[in-house]
Amino acid sequence: MSIDRSRQSDGTLRRGLYPEIEPYKTGMLDTGDGHQIYYELCGNPSGQPVVFLHGGPGGGCSASHRRLFDPAKYNILLFDQRGCGRSLPHASLDNNTTWHLVADIEKLRQLCGFEKWVVFGGSWGSTLALAYAEKHASQVKALILRGVFTLRRFELEWYYQWGASLFFPEKWQRFIEPTSGLQSDMIAAYNKLLTSSDEAVRLAAARVWSVWEGETTTLLPNLDNSAHFADDHFALAFARIENHYFSNAGWMADGQLINEATKLQGIPGVIVQGRYDMACPPISAYDLHKAWPGSELKMVEDAGHAYNEPGILHHLIEATDKFA
């Protein structure tokens, strides 16, 4: 029996991305501590401000991310977080923490002259969105989160130690091969490889780390997604920065984002979560929903983790329309 993923359960067609657009402004923000942050503004300069927070950390933005918002109604800010995408220096771990990124977001808001804005984040972007909103609640009009990741220790262990491996045993075998028996703590084992003084060792480890994620985040195999994660330039920043953050627990107490979700009271929001998300299991979205008064949880029954899976994309577009 085949499932028509182009339609909702009631038979209505699912929403898709808005048409392609180009930025009306681009720039580089000098952070003052060694980083240059690429940013761009798209859509309607007089529209509702929104900031898009990409995943990873280390993933960077793409042109398709602009298309999650109605360009006639939104003034859309996208930026590449420290060390990735078009930001410089590439793959740098210096002065690169969650709280540096939260400060960068606030600097960009002030640079653009926005009083309040919608904050949109998926995967690691949801982590960063929560960290920002819990620190700067008065600047947040609404939150749209996808594939919730709160950086609790058991979430990391699920994906990098004992959980997702049970669903992808052959892919997991490829992931553990470079670690030479240091498999009791895969994040620590990869940290040694990704910070090696040997550039070839760093790059080889980065490819394997990155491809593990690229091949396990969609409900059904997606060759384009896998190829993107295998690209050397992308993989080096993605793997080094992601592992750096995970090795340091995001510079947060375990469970901090859920425990402090009461700070979000009064901020409306939509959480979109794939039922079969192997990277960020639904328990985190559910726990956040329970802890965040006024949030709305959309559980997508035929989806994994990726934003462009049909059911997830449908609900994301509905959510961005809601707050325009």
Q: What does the pLDDT look like over 240-275, one tens digit per residue? A: 999 999 999 999 999 999 999 999 999 999 999 999
Which of 65, 165, 244, 277 does the annotation list as catalytic? Answer: 277
List the one residue out of 320, 324, 321 whose CA is nearest residue 146.
320
Split at pLDDT 50, 70, 90, the class of 3 is: low
Which of 123, 126, 210, 284 does the annotation list as catalytic? Answer: 123
Split at pLDDT 50, 70, 90, the class of 226 is: confident
Domain ranges of the chain: 25-152+252-322, 153-250
Split at pLDDT 50, 70, 90, the class of 1 is: very low
Whether residue 210 lies in the annotated active site: no
Which of 35, 289, 305, 315 does the annotation list as catalytic? Answer: 305
- Strand order across the beta sheet in which 117-122 lies: 25-30, 36-43, 74-79, 48-53, 117-122, 140-146, 269-274, 295-300
- Looking at domain 25-152+252-322, which CATH architecture does it have? 3-Layer(aba) Sandwich (3.40)
For a pLDDT cut of 70, what percent of the chain falls above it? 99
Q: Residue 203: what pLDDT?
A: 98
Please count the CA atoms within 13 angstroms of the CA of 103 that sit on its side-chain side. Answer: 12
Split at pLDDT 50, 70, 90, the class of 183 is: confident
Q: Residue 181: what pLDDT?
A: 66
Residue-averaged pLDDT of the chain? 96
The per-residue b/e assignment along 179-200, b for 16 or more CB within 10 angstroms, e otherwise, is beeeeeebbebbbebbeeeeee
Whether residue 321 lies in the annotated active site: no
Whether residue 185 lies in the annotated active site: no
CB-based burial label for 151 (10 Å; 0-12, 13-18, 19+): buried
Is-contact 120 68, C-beta < 8 A? yes
Q: Residue 162: what pLDDT?
A: 93
